[in-house]
Structure formats: structure tokens, C-alpha cells
Chains A and B, each alone.
Chain A
Amino acid sequence: MSQRKRPVHRPKIRMKEAEALVRALKTHQVDGIVGERHIMVCRMKEVEEKLENSRDQVRALAASLQSMRENERAVIAREIHDQFGQTLTILQLGLSWMAGKVNPKQQPLQEKIRSLSDLVTAMIQSVQRFADELRPGVLDELGLVKTLKAEAREFEGHTEIQCGFKTNIGKARFDRVGSVAVFRIAQAALTNVARHAHASRAMIALMQREHDLILTVRDNGKGITKKLVHGNNSLGIIGMRERALALDGTLTLSGSKGKGTTLAVRIPLSRVLIG
């Protein structure tokens, strides 16, 4: 005798009830699913809370690491600037003094001193550049807006990609942490443009819209793919996003093939303004 299959139990549910059920599921008000043979206990709310807590912890850790990194960079930058900069300047002065003392007839010696002096000048410039890259001193001196403007100009000089800058921010003063974060995001975005975008033009904009500070970096390159935006390997993007999140901000990246990429960071003004 063949065994007959038990008919599948299909509970009847009306549309209004179905809507209420979906609402209960969406708001995590369900803790058990009654199946035909099994009861499934689900703890979605608890799991989500735990996940959110662990996300918060990771974000706090990332923010603390960023801050430690910036502090270390500042210390190294200062050491490089003070120690090497000073020594090289003394060396430069010594060489100038020697050049003045050498008999003009001693042509080879004079040329040697000049070439050494040129070398020391180049080294002083390199040291200044390293120190600036480690800790952009101009941020403290000029403020965020002017530093970004200078960064755009410098980027154009290094890469031959036309880079503009626009802003509607007047004399607003940003705090150190906020300024460094926004500047580093812009710097990382420009590095991505130079490395990956194959662009001929880029534009940085720092705008104030209602209660937010918005930084956008746009290029006319090949356009970022969705896979890269959400990929776990895009460490540069993850780093930028973490910096934005640490200031309660958001970062979005959009782009389409051949039409360039736009990076937009939105940070509440209350988190970056002084006073």
C-alpha cells in the first residue's frame, strides 16, 4: 500500500491580517514562528541589538585609532620639522659661509659647495613636504577652507588633472578634529581620483547646507562600480566612511560608467564648528 502524503497545512489569512503581520515582523514584535511541525523561536531584536552594539564598539575603536594615528603623526611631523629642519638649515648656512670663504679661483671647490647647497635645499623642501603630509600645519594656520583650496591647487600641479574648488563658507571656524577628518577624506578622495578614475577634471566643494557641512569630490573619470563601493577590499573607502561616522556623518559614493564618480560627505555642523 502506497503511503499518501499528508496535505500541506495552509493557514488562511486575510489581507488586513497579513498587513498587520508584516508590520509586527518589521517592528521585531515577533518571537516565534509556528510551522507545521516545528516552532521556531527567533530573537531578531536581541540579535540586531547585539550587532548594533558591536558595530558601535568597532566604530568607537576605529575613531580612537584614527585619533591616535593623527596624534602620532603630529608628533613625528614636529620631530622631523624641528630636528631635521634645524640641522639642515645649519648645514645650509655653513655651506653658504664656506662658499664665501673659498677663493674664487678654486672653481671645482666652489662648484662642489654649490651642488651640496642645492642638495641641502632640496632636502629641506622634502622634509617640509613630509612634515606637511604627516600633519598639515596649514590646517592650523589657514583653516580648512584655504587648506582645501591649496590642496586642490597642489593636486593639479602633481597630477595634471584640472582641479577646482568652491565653497559658500565664509569665516566659519572648524575644530581641529573635524578639520583633520574632512581634510583627510578630501585627500583620500583625490588620491583615488589620481589612482583609479582616469579623469581629466575634478572638483572639490565644501558647502554649508542648513545644519550640515557637505564635502563633495567629483571627477569626470570612468566611474566607480557598485561592487567597489560596497566591497570589503576598498580600504580607502572604508577609512573615509569611518572618519565620517566618527563625526555622526554619512558618506555616499555614486557613479556610472564613463560619467565619473561623486563622493559626498555630510557631517552635522554642530560636530565640526567651534562655538
Chain B
Amino acid sequence: MKARKRERRRHAKPGGETYVFRLFVVGNESNSTQARVNLARLCEEQLKGHYQIETVDVLKDAATAHKNNVLVTPTLILIKPFPKVTVFGNLSDTRQVLAALRLIGGER
């Protein structure tokens, strides 16, 4: 029963629920800036307003980074919907990022 519920959630369509992301960056370094831009574009294209992005600059808030087991920046964590997903890098490989976030392919 529980497994079925989880399965249903895994297949939740964007638009039905809000996607919550936490993006860890370091200042305005090039990969961090690219990650910010790429994430905003992906969300606008795929989730059309049904998303929240919380950006954490590890230089200002290292505690949150430690709490979230962040090792490098940029790191993107999909907080909701469950299960959590972590993506590293500047998010320039759109296909790979969407697949990891379950927004395309069988995993969605």
C-alpha cells in the first residue's frame, strides 16, 4: 500500500504539485551563475510556475550546506516531491538534469 502511494507520487505530473528546489552556489562564480540561470529556465519551461527555488550561497550560509551534506557547488537538491534528488554541476546538460529530476523519461 505504502509502495503504491510512493509510486503514485513518483508519477505526479508537474502542475499538480509544487516542486521545491534548493540550489547551493558559491558567490557569482561561473558555474554557480550558470546553474542559477539554467535552473530558472528549466523550471519555467517544464513546471510553468509550479516551483520554488531557494538559493543558498555557501559563503554566507555554510551551516545549511553542511546540514544538507553538500560537498561541492553548484549542487541542486530536489526537496519535494519525494524522493530527494541531488544533481551536481552547472545543469547545462538539460536532458540529464530533467531525467534526474524525473521530469522526462520513465522515472518521472
Contacts and interface: CB of A to CB of B under 8 A. Distances in A.
Nearest to B30: A31
Interface string A26-51: 01111111101001010101100000
Contact of B86 (A17, A30, A32, A34): A17
B89 A30 contact: yes
A150 interface: no
B91 to A, nearest CB: 8
Given A12-B69, A20-B87, A43 B92 contact: no
B79 interface: no
Interface string B77-99: 00000000011111010000000
Contacts of B69: 11-13
A41 B71 contact: no
B88 A24 contact: yes
Interface in B34-80: 58-59, 62, 65-66, 69-74
B15 interface: no
A29 B58 contact: no
A21 interface: yes
Contacts of B66: 9, 11, 34, 36
Contacts of B30: 31, 43, 45-46
A27 B89 contact: yes
Contacts of A41: 26-27, 29
A119 interface: no
Contacts of B32: 31-32
**Chain A binding surface, main DSSP class:** mixed
A12 B66 CA distance: 11
A24 B89 contact: yes
Nearest to B65: A34
Contact of A39 (B59, B74, B89): B59
B29 A34 contact: no
B72 A39 contact: no
B71 A31 contact: no
A12 B71 CA distance: 10
B89 to A, nearest CB: 3
A30 B71 CA distance: 10
A25 B90 CA distance: 11
A30 B58 contact: no
Interface string B11-43: 000000000000011110111100000000000
A34 B71 contact: yes
A41 B59 CA distance: 9
B84 to A, nearest CB: 10
A34 B92 contact: no
Given A29-B88, A34-B62, A13 B71 contact: yes
B73 A30 contact: yes
A31 B74 contact: yes
B29 A32 contact: yes
Most chain B C-beta atoms within 10 Å of own C-beta, residue among A28, A31, A46: A31
A29 B29 contact: no
A20 B73 CA distance: 13
In the A-B complex, the 6 residue pairs with the closest CB atoms:
A32-B26, A29-B89, A32-B73, A24-B89, A31-B29, A24-B88
6 contacts: A17-B88, A25-B72, A29-B90, A39-B26, A45-B30, A46-B30
Interface of A: 9, 11-13, 17, 20-21, 23-25, 27-34, 36, 39, 41, 43, 45-46
